[in-house]
Amino acid sequence: MSTPVLEVRGLAYAYPDGHQALAGVDLHVHEGESVALLGPNGAGKTTLVLHLNGILTAGAGTVSVSGMPVEKDHLQEIRRRVGIVFQDPDDQLFMGTVRADVGFGPANLGLSGAALDARVMTALDLVGMADFADRPPHHLSFGQRRRVAVATVLAMEPEILVLDEPSSNLDPASRRELADILRSLDVTVLMVTHDLPYALELCPRSVVLSDGHVVADGTTYDVLTDDELMRRHRLELPFGFDPRTVAATLGLGD
């Protein structure tokens, strides 16, 4: 197979207070894949995400993005390649207007003038927010802000889009709209989520992280229907949701 977009080998990390958040994680994501990263609270999901673009530095092991190791020398290029959408859009959107916010990343990469503007409008078009370019972000609805947050990262033309809890706090309509947008994008996706139906809908493959270890890596359908695995790692499907019946209608699974 080709060089993976994302390659994590034996990654371990302990926080300064001694808490071992990651204890030897291995993960490969190939181009064009959509992978869900599942796991109970405190499993180390966010810690792993912060290693992918070098915000945190590995205690042991390596992370590389399209063959380029995540190291101090080329952090800027790594941060272009790995686009992280954080959970709270108010953390991600800090400029006065949507346009300035989406332009922040590409401008840091050295774009300016017409090229910058084109990049910004393309990204806003992808998430259906082009009409809001000159509005201040805090005047938008929560769902709109989440979409603009995705655009801020798309504007950097990343090789992998990493989403931290993309469906959290969204009403069902906004949640569906975001799913439609994510499906329409031509980009590799790693999605951290507790929303298991969302994972089944959008990601053919799932990786389960528990206590700093990868404990399962397979098709989302297989993971969600492995009752023993699910119980052991505090993963629960919402009431009334059965992947088997849903998969039948989606044409997945057995």
Partner 1 sequence: MGGAHGHLLHFHGHSAVHRAPAHLKVLALLVFMVTVVATPDDWFAAFGAYLLVLVAVIGLSRVPPTYILKRMVVEVPFVLFAVLLPFVARGPRVEVLGLSLSESGLLAAFGLLATATLGVIASLTLAATTEPQALLKGLERLRLPTTLVQIMAFMIRYLSVVTEELRRMHVARVSRGFEARNPRHWPVLAKSFGALFIRSYERGERVHLAMLSRGYTGKMPL
- Give the residues lining the site for partner 1 (CB under 8 A): 50, 53, 55, 76, 79-80, 82-84, 86, 88, 90-92, 94-97, 100, 103-105, 107-109, 136-142, 152-153, 156, 169
User: Residue 72 or 245: which CB sits closer to partner 1?
Assistant: 72
In the complex, minimum distance from the CB of residue 55 to partner 1, in angstroms, rounded to a whole number: 6
* Closer residue to partner 1 (CB): 109 or 121: 109
Give the shortest CB-92-to-partner 1 separation in angstroms: 5
In angstroms, what is the minimal distance from the CB of 82 to partner 1? 8
Name the residue nearer to partner 1 (CB basis): 122 or 225.
122
Left if phi > 0, otherwise alpha if psi is -120 to 50, otherwise beta: which for 152?
alpha
Residues in the chain: 254
Structural contact between residues 20 and 213, judged by C-beta atoms closer than 8 angstroms: no
**Burial code of 25-44, b = ≥16 C-beta within 10 A, e = fewer?**
bebebeeebbbbbbbeeebb
- CA–CA separation, 94 and 104 (whole Å): 10
The residue among 43 and 56 lying less far from partner 1, judged by its C-beta, is 56
Q: How far is the CB of 112 from partner 1 (least distance, A)?
A: 8
Whether the Cβ atoms of residue 92 and residue 83 lie closer than 8 Å to each other = no
The two three-digit tokens of residue 116, written as one number: 């910058």
Within 10 A of 154 (CB to CB), how many other CB atoms are there?
24
Q: Supply the minimum distance, in Å, between the C-beta of residue 117 and partner 1.
A: 11
By C-beta, is 138 or 183 nearer to partner 1? 138
